[in-house]
Structure 1
Amino acid sequence: MYARVLIIAGSDSGGGAGIQADIKTVTTLGGYAATAITALTAQNTQGILAVLPVDPDFIAQQIRSVLTDIGADCIKIGMLYSATTIQVVADMLEDLAAATPLILDPVMNAKDGTSLLEPKAIKLLKQRLLPRAYLITPNLPEAEVLTGLEINDLKDMEQAAVTLLEQGATSILVKGGHLTGNHLWDLLVTQSYTESFKSQRIISPHTHGTGCTLASAIATGIAQGRTLIDSVRRAQVYVQEAIRTAKGYGTGQGPLNHTHTVNTFEI
């Protein structure tokens, strides 16, 4: 099995999130990563200094070049930035990958608060990509924007997921990391079942790119033929260990240790 994952997302020059985190995640979990870059960012652990959107026609060319040759067993979407990009991506996937499972991470803001999705693009995201996705993975602020609901606890998370189902989503993983407490709760809701995932909160400044990493880890599992629950469970274990073993790069919100699954060796 190839386990090919096409990642459509922005680039993080600091290497902790975005395309860079996605490639590391897919690779270290045994998949093959291909990419279509939607935007370039100048950033480090202190935050984002600048964003340069990629021309939509070139984004389309990247997607076409991958899908018509290498192909994809799963597609993961991260930072899209603009309504124009969403339109192009949706059109390309409709034409070339209508049957390919899509994992949508609705990236809206960076950890430093920088906007990574234009406000006018949110409506189009809900119209064109949310109903198309096999799974969407919003954190609590993103779920609140998508549903218009205030989320303060696990019950609110479930209501938000139900609302997203009513909006056309197939399955939703609402990530509860923004809630307080010693434990983290993530909630997976589909048309046929609900599954909750509990994990120990790790107190660490090195959590940059957790959302990108989790979605890409899930996409890798789906590409490998795993079930959705199994893919989510493995992804969460992978992310937890990546946080726990983070190397401590930078002086701000540092990156995860994506390579913890790789055995070190000497040449």
Structure 2
Amino acid sequence: MTKLSVNINKIATLRNARGGNMPNLLKVAKDVQIFGAEGITIHPRPDERHIRYQDAYDLKPIVITEYNIEGNPMDDFIKMVLQIKPAQVTLVPDAVDAITSNAGWDTIKHTDFLKEIIAEFKRNKIRTSIFVDPNLKMIEGAAETGTDRIELYTEEFAKQYSLGNKEAIRPYIECAILAHKLGLGINAGHDLSLENIKFFKENIPNLLEVSIGHALICEALYDGLEKVIGEYLKKLKS
């Protein structure tokens, strides 16, 4: 079974645009879970332009499914994760000024750095995942870090799929097969949508979780959160 974790960053972006508390991030998190989502994902950044660090703490008692906190493992981020102890931490090598995540880890170059951080999280019983490009060498490097899972960066797949190139799934399949062989759990995320999620899920073996935010919120503007979440669940379970 592939779980759906809903990234609520865009809800925080909308709230922050007016400076008040509308939409209410905590209520949305509650409702998303009531509607069937099996996890909540947030990705706080140092400038707090969407999710604020305080949000991460406030969400802790609200998330009764799986709480996944993504981010670049800088000192403040590490401290926050160790205090909150979410179900999962996903390490993403995004630059401070990045609009959104745009690359996976070089798991060979950064092996020692990742090993140290992952070991600390695992000592605190936090499941770890690292964001990686669909590159077999990077999957092998990920296994060396001691991480529990990888999250496949799916932007290129989504782009190519929208152009009609279904063969773009091939490197993701190969990486998923290798990751499973090496004992790694497989997550995926970035630009997955109702248009491409069924095809992706049907072709990626042992896919445990997808994290979807931007597309899901955009789709919900037309059809509503409850209906859109239900559509994702149908496609992931069928």
TM bin, normalised by shorter chain, reads 0.3 to 0.5
Q: 1 or 2, which has the higher helix percentage?
A: 2
TM-score by structure 2 length? 0.46
TM-score by structure 1 length? 0.42
